[in-house]
Structure 1
């Protein structure tokens, strides 16, 4: 990155890789690669013999392996994973807005351009890379979070579906069924006799469905409101 090629606008919470480079003249440069969002963050590796063992690799690690191909003619000094969090608050003056819907649409578009409020980066990231990212995004040391592990642990959730090992998983949760009937007379009779407390997701949502369905069928019901 240089005056002719400024730091790009990083998408909110997009996983990126910062690269410290050295050119043939010995000058140190700073590069960045955004990890494709359309690809899974964990890649299952093929095995010659199928067994119980499953091997996965992070997509970011694969991208880092191929940095020499992306930056040919440069020496790769260091690579680190990071992501930026941008301010996503909506600033609306409902009294002053002539068209509230348009104002909301504009604010939603501006959320992508919000100021950076947090930097998450590998715990072992070189100080030079951290300082460059802080300077480029106007961050203070209190806004930098060093991750001792993968940046964004939420991506590990995909292991649940990618791992065909049911013995490693909790059994599917079955909510408690509370019967109040399905016919309007039965449903409303139950409600008249006692209060019915439902705690979701631990209790099934079926009673709510039956209640709304019964209200829709009952000719004495004028409106259904929340």
Structure 2
């Protein structure tokens, strides 16, 4: 893979830098989706986002991710979605190596320039609306592991009226809260959980289809 690959899965916007094996990409996507579903079972992400994102991170740690750093919880105010790409470097805290910071910036730029963003954001711009998602850049570490930066973002709109384009607003602003951590994951560290998580996700998908 010669270029970055970006995937929107549930509420996880995941980007893979070159050099990550197909098995590890699949492992990471399964682990992140499992973490999302696990957090959903324990907390309401609309009302209790902080414990929700903390449970999300805890699940990654419990399923083979070695904790390597943290993003200190923070809050900024922006006027437009496209301003997300200018989030200060300090928002990424101790979790950010120069490489992961560059990948994070690139991931935000790619997200906000993609059809994923149009699909994800266009339906919820009204005053007082709260939404959250995770931007998760991943890069090969050179030791067989993948460095994963989880940046959870919760956005709450205030006095917003839709603009002509989904990334613009006519008035109001958005409060953006950040929380996250960085992890290192290998095929070996995830192996004890791979089969069980795969079965869980398969069963969850079947249940969701049956409920349609």
TM > 0.5 fold call: no
- Give the TM-score normalised by the residue count of structure 1: 0.25
TM-score scaled by length of structure 2 = 0.26
Structure with bigger RCO (C-alpha 8 Å, 6+ apart): 2
Higher strand fraction (1 or 2): 2
Which structure has the larger Rg? 1
